[in-house]
Amino acid sequence: MKKYLFIISFLLLILPIKAQLPLSEESRISILTSYPSDEEVFTLYGHTAIRILDPAQNIDLVFNYGIFDFHTPNFIYRFAKGETDYKLGVDNFQNYFIEYQMRGSKVVEQALNLNQVEKEKLWQALIVNYEPQNRTYRYNFFFDNCSTKPRDLVEKAVEGKINYKENKNKLTFRDLINDCTRNHYWYTFGCDLALGSPTDRITTIREQMFLPLYLVSAFDEATISTPSGESRKLVQSSSVLIEENKDIDKSSPSLFSPLFVSISLLLAVTTLTIIAFKRKKIFRGIDIVLFSIAGIAGLILFFLSFISTHPATNPNWSLIWLHPFHLIGVILFSVKKLNKAAYYYHFINFAALTLLLIGWYIIPQQYNTAFIPLVLTLWMRSGYSVYIIKKIY
């Protein structure tokens, strides 16, 4: 995916003219796949584009559905709400090649085995999509992105049906994205927190194509069944345009991982709680800080679950331990006169977290291992508060 929209000015002038010309017999349409890189968050997943090459017409263009701009007003809010708009961009192949060569990403080209009618349908569909009123689309990470758009266009262009070889590996959406972020523990932690139980559904081979590398694999093994009963391979040939630059530094997993931080927090809070027990104190400040953070995180999860239109964020079982009601609890903890109310809040929270811990592996949502120490931290503080409030007050 590309960060900024850049289109050569002269291309804007010649594209409408070239669109009036049919592709020649020498033309070739191919899928360009850039492999994942650690350059940016959005490059961890790779990128897909469509190349139109027609030497007879002097055409060598790359159509790219991954154009977005971080500087768009309210970009973060709109992205969280599921209202991010991406654009179809067009660039000269040479510019595309140089960009990925400088990035050091491996790029594979798959020449599609299309007849002349199919190539023309796909070419004209791209031209229509690039018209100003059509080039912007509502982006969805799993179901409508830079990888699924080319797949859909190819499927519509072929005369017949594309048959994909079903993948025997039973992978969920979470499995797929966590594999991409495996060297970035904090990205994985954030995704596991924000994405709910729909992400743990087993994917079909077609759904897996939201990731470019799975689209490459699926296309390599796919065949086209024509109305006449004939069958041919979808990909005519495959070649590596750019080899991976192994001299470029790659990110390595940090020791300062979510699991390390969460265990450290648990140990620190446990130590302070033991000191509080010996002194027969509550140490309200600990609860105010912990439950304030949990409440703010809960607000974010509530927004993603019930306000955002992302299809994979609701339901989210993490709302059992991270929810906005913790902020109400903070008010109760802060006022001594509300000790009785605080007692009941902690009692309910302790009971809820106990059930959560007991049913950890039967909940229909995969939790990140780093969640366990965090849940235990809140569980311990609520359990201790129930004990000390009842005993002292």
Domains of the chain: 28-242 (3.90.1720), 258-392 (no CATH)
Q: What is the pLDDT of residue 244?
A: 84
The whole-angstrom separation of Cα 47 and Cα 63 is: 12
Q: What is the pLDDT of residue 251?
A: 57
Distances (CA, A) of 354 to 134, 292, 357: 52, 20, 5
Q: What is the pLDDT of residue 123?
A: 97
Half-sphere exposure of 258 (CA within 13 A, CB side): 20
End-to-end Cα distance, the chain: 59
Residues 95-122, mean pLDDT to the nearest whole number: 94
Q: What is the pLDDT of residue 249?
A: 55
- Measured from the Cβ of residue 327, the count of other Cβ atoms closer than 10 Å reads 15
- Measured from the Cβ of residue 15, the count of other Cβ atoms closer than 10 Å reads 16
The pTM for the full model equals 0.88
Residues 161-178, mean pLDDT to the nearest whole number: 92
Q: Read off the tokens for 136.
A: 């912007």
Residues 62-77, mean pLDDT to the nearest whole number: 82
Confidence of residue 77 (pLDDT cuts 50, 70, 90): confident
Radius of gyration of the chain from Cα atoms? 26
Buried/exposed code over 25-43 (b: 16+ C-beta within 10 A; e: otherwise): eebbbbbbbbbbbbeeeeb
Q: What is the pLDDT of residue 223?
A: 97
Distances (CA, A) of 273 to 149, 165, 332, 371: 54, 57, 19, 20
The string of pLDDT tens digits covering residues 207-219 is 999 999 999 999 9
